[in-house]
Each structure stands twice: as structure tokens, then as C-alpha cells.
Structure 1
Amino acid sequence: MKITIVAGARPNFIKIAPIIRAIEQKQKAGAPLSYRLVHTGQHYDKNLSDTFFEELNIPKPNANLEVKSGSQSVQTANIMVAFEQELLENPTDLVLVVGDVNSTMACTIVAKKMNIKVTHVEAGIRSGDMTMPEEINRIVTDSITDYFFTTSTSATDNLIRFGANPEQVHFVGNVMIDTLYQNQHRFEQPTFWSDMGLEKGNYIILTLHRPANVDEEDSLVNLLEGIDQLAQGKKIIFPIHPRTKAILGERQLKTKNIVFIEPQGYLNFMYLVANSFTVITDSGGISEETTVLGIPCFTLRNNTERPETISVGTNHLVGTRVEKLVETYTTFLQNGMKKAGIPDLWDGKASERIIEILLQKEI
């Protein structure tokens, strides 16, 4: 079986690393399995791309489509044109996509139009928010995928409810958590750790990237100044995305506790998360990682496609109004962390299950 693996952006790199490792383990055992890794180039900043390949021991991609940035439509179209040529030159039995970025949807459409089977890792998650580009990517991808691998029973239920063949849907666990477990012993203290006076539990991690939170300068400033008030003597470490940094421009903020740093590689960032007091974020994936690490997380969104991080894990959904964040955070400070656990099958073996199941399919 020949598998073409697609990766386009930071979350994809974290998800494909254990899948490649599982494939290579099967190859060593004599399984009739090969793979070709295609990097679409959707993220091309070194700290958002190359660093993750190096740190997670992901082989150099067989191809980099180098599509770079653009509007949603332009980027998707460029990926489709380049990926079609890639498949014409390098035939495959199966295209494996992960997550919900533009590359996921674009490459799925191209593969299916060429009558190539597709498997979607992290299928079935839904936020119900059609203003999110990722939600559209998920729905389109899952509407034409052949094999579905889910991170939770709720994701499985979503797929069945909307007509997926139950025999093609497999609840396997979370490949992002595979990567976390495989690299936890390698988390690396950033070089600025001592200079900033950081210690375990004496700082907060902040990440923001969703358009609803960062695209409008005044609302972004209001959000940051509100978050700054929560610090209570702790630094707030904010690895700022280049796009968010550009939106702020030269704006002078009335903040005393937020420390802006460059985007971090996986090992440095996860060290910061694992040793933080809390995390404030608008990311879905980070709420999965904090759940496993036992770190309280406050998600600045009105919805989430990962409800298990709330019902089982350490996550709190606080909306996009800073007043609600302050209310929830204050309650947390008064009462301590809620009782939390780790969702089913988030045990570091999801990738092994995926490859084992694919080997049993007639592809």
C-alpha cells in the first residue's frame, strides 16, 4: 500500500509525526507499506514549519508545494492545482489528511476527483460555527472521505448522524497526544527562562490567533489589556503570531504583565505549557494538550469542537468577552482546579491503531 501523507500547518506536523513513526515500525516488521510526505507550504515561517520537522524527527518532505499565504480561496485553489500535479507525477493508493486546515480540504477534493481513496485523521469534530474556516474544511472533508479516524465518541456520533458508514468510522484516540507522550521527556527549557525569572507555576501562557479575537485592532487591544489584569503578580508569556504582531503594529498597550516573545518550536512551547500556572488560548489543540498535562485552560471562544476537554479535561469555555474570562478565572482562583481526567484512548497509541486498521482495509 502506498500512502501519500499531507501536512500543511503547525497542527498537522504534530499529528503526522507519530503516524510516520507507526508506519516505519510496520515497515521494519515487513508490512507491505510505503509513504510519501507532501508539505503544502501553507505555513512557511521557519518557527511555524521547519522547526517542527526538525524537533519531531519528521523526515524531510518528498515534496514541498510552497503555496504560502493568500485569501482562503486563493490558498485553497493554489494547493489544489499543485497537489493535482503531485498526484499525477506520483500515483498513490491512499491520501491521508489530518486536522482541518485548508490543505486538509483541498487535498481531499483533489484526491477524490482523481478516484483516490482518502482517510481523515481527527474526523468528525464539530464546533457548529460556520463562521470558522476550519468548520467548513471539516464538513467538506468528511462528506467525501472514505475512512474516518476519530479522537472521541462524540466525533464518531457526529459522523454517524450525518450519514457516514459506521464500518468506515474508527474511534482510535488522539494522535496529538501520541506526539506529546513520545516527546514529553524531550521538552526543552527556553533560553530566556532564567533571564525572565520564570519558575514552575509562576507564569501564565497566552496564545491568540483566531480572526474573531485578533483581526480588529481595538478589540484585540481591549482583550489584551483585560487579560493583563488577571496576572496577580505573574508574567503572561505571549508567543505572538507574526500576523497578530502586524495588526498591533506600533500601538502602545497599557499592559504591565504581558511579555511578547517570538513563536516557539514544539519542545520549547510544550515546556512552557507543562510548567505554567494556567493557559489562556483560543486554540482547540492546546486545550487537548493541557488536559493531558493537567494544566487549567481557559478558551476564548463561544464554542469548541473538542467538548471532551471540558466534560472530562481541564478546559473552561469562556466566550470572547474579557468580562466572562475574568469571572471564570476569578472563580478558579477561589475554588481551585476542577476535577479532571484524560479522555478515553488518549493513551499515546492512536497512530498504531490507525496503521493497523488501514493494513486490514482493501485499498
Structure 2
Amino acid sequence: MDITIGQQIKKFRGSALTQQGLADKSGVSYETIRKLEQGRKGASVTTLKKLARALDVDLADLVGNRYGMPTEDPGAGVVAIREALTSVDDLIGDRPAEPPVSLTDARRTVDYAWGAYWNGRYETLASILPPGIAQLRATAHAAQNNEISTAHELLARMYWVTGCTLVHLGHADPAFVAIRSALSASERGNDPLLAATLRGSVAWQLLVQGRYEESHKVALRAAASVEPAGQVSEQQLSVYGSLVLQGATAAGRDQRVREALDTAAAAREVAARLPGDTKWYECNFGASQVVMQTVDINVSSERYPEAIAAAKDMPNRGAGLTQVSQARHLLDRAQALTRLRKYREAQDLLLTAERVGGRDWSRYQTLMKQIVQELREQERNPALAGLAERIGVRR
């Protein structure tokens, strides 16, 4: 039988805090904590992060979503990624583990990694990232003259996809090492939009850690650095709008709902200047992304009817989103429907999310597991039982 979030809260609370003491320290009501520990209530991400902070544990430990990827290949997996990120070859005089490659091959490696990421193929990433990091690092080190900027920009993008992957696997600390390494590499490049986008990724990682105010400030300061003036490129509009929207999401997670919705409305105005949904610098931005994040703002603030209403504005059923973004949006909608006791509709969306995101992606989605656990208290049918088994939710 899996350990529930309520059991985890009780374990970490131990004898140091009573339920009332945890309520006072976290700002979460005593009644909510009592029901969580009894397994009678689900919790929003915002509530769980408040509890994790009060219990002085990572959210990944509280909800049990820190994943490893055991494999027969000793050069693959989370441990191998961490070792690649923290190489000490320069300190011991060893040569890089991988030889440098041409910029064409380096770009091909980076693009392949991002393609795997956007398709939720985390197990593939666990195999290709360790050698890829070493290869791109060696390439940047060997670059000369006019190749230096490009080589370091490609290295930055490789570190970046590594950080994003580690976040999804619940490893926040090495993820942050990766994104700071990406920022450092980008400083030797010559692309201000890439540098700004990487600061947006820092903001996202801060948000995942529950550092909402810092996330908000980093995102909006990065947005200000590339704010459009006059006629600008589609790339600049897209990066700017994405950063503004990141700031809106952070404000929403911080329960500053009015500010979050106003900022999302500002992002919507930027999106209206674009010909449609875009994907520059590995960031989706456009009307679809604005709707997705508006739903997220409402769900994280437990405004479930408003979330369902906002989802109706999604253009073309989210066709402008990547597969994993579409699937993540379906999870937000499923959570809202679950809290509104529309259990069968929520179940249908979960099954659709699994199909859209793929089974590899679904196995690593804590939110999906939480919703399935809640629904199993209400629904008894083979489809839900089958989904629970496929994603590793057991009684």
C-alpha cells in the first residue's frame, strides 16, 4: 500500500508539532490538516507547499515524487546526470569524458534532447543527458574565434533542458545547479533573448520550490530587460509575453489572485500582437498558453468554477500547446472537476491526459496520482483502476 500524503504529513510532523501547531505555523487550517491526515481530503499545490515549508522538508519528499531511473546502463539515470553536472575534470587534470563535436552535431544533440523533453520521454533523457552534457562542455571548451558564442549558447541550452528534466523528476537542487550553469554559459554567448528566457526558467524553478515572491520578481525583471519598444521581432514579443505570464503564475501561486489575473491579461494583450501560438526559445507563448496559465492561477487559488469557465476560452482545443502542455492543462481541469464533485468528467479528462502525454510522462505526474487517489474514493470502475495501475497508484 502506498504511503498517502496525509501519512507523510503525520510522519514529518512527528511529536514536534501538533496538528494545531502545524496549522499555526503553515497558515493552513486545522480542519484541512486533520482531514488530510485522515485521508478524507485532497490539497492544492499551494497548500502542500505551505505545509512542506512549515515541516522544513522539500515538497518532493512530502508528496513522494522524487524519482530515480534504475537502468542496466551505469552511465544513465539521475545519479549520472548529477555527476555530469558536477564534473571536476578541470580540478584533477583529466580530459573531458567526451570528445568535442562540430557545432552542427552539437545542435543536433541539443535539439534531440529538447524533443524528448517536450514529448515527456524522461527515461530517454536519463540516457542521453549525461554524455550530452560532457560532449557539449568539451565542444564549448574547444571552440575558437567566432564559434565561441554559438558553442556556449548550445551548452546553455543543454544545461537548461537538464534542469527542466530534473525538476520533473523531483530533484530541485541539481536542477538549480543546471539552470545556473546555463546562465553562466549564456553569458559567453551573444543572445540577450536566450539569457532572458533562462532567467524565466530560474523563475519557474523558484516557483516549484515555493519561493513565489522571488519567482515573481525574477520573471518580471527579466521581462523588463526585453520589453518591446516600437516594431520588434516575433521572437522578442514571444519571449517578453512568456516572462510576463510567468510572473502572473507566480503571483497566482502566492494567492495574489487579482494581481495574477491582471498580469495574465497584460500577457494576453501581448499574445494578441502575434500571428498565433509560437514556440521560440523552447517556450510556448500565445493565446493558448495564456488560457492554460489562467486556469492554473484559478486552480492554485482553489477557484474551481472560475477555472472551468476560463478553460472554455482555449482556442482550437489547445492545439497550440505541446503535447505535455496539453496533458498538464487537462490535469488542472480534472482537479477542478474533482473538487466540484464531477467525478466521471474528471476521470475522462485523466484518461485523455494519459493518452496525450503518453505513459512515460504520466508515470511521473504527481498531480495525476493525487487526483486518481481522490477519485478512487468516489468511483469504482475498471477504467480508473487500470489507470491507477499504469501510473503506479496502489491501495
TM-score by length of 2: 0.26
The structure in which a higher percent of residues are helix is 2
Q: Which structure has the bigger radius of gyration?
A: 2
Normalised TM-score (structure 1) = 0.27
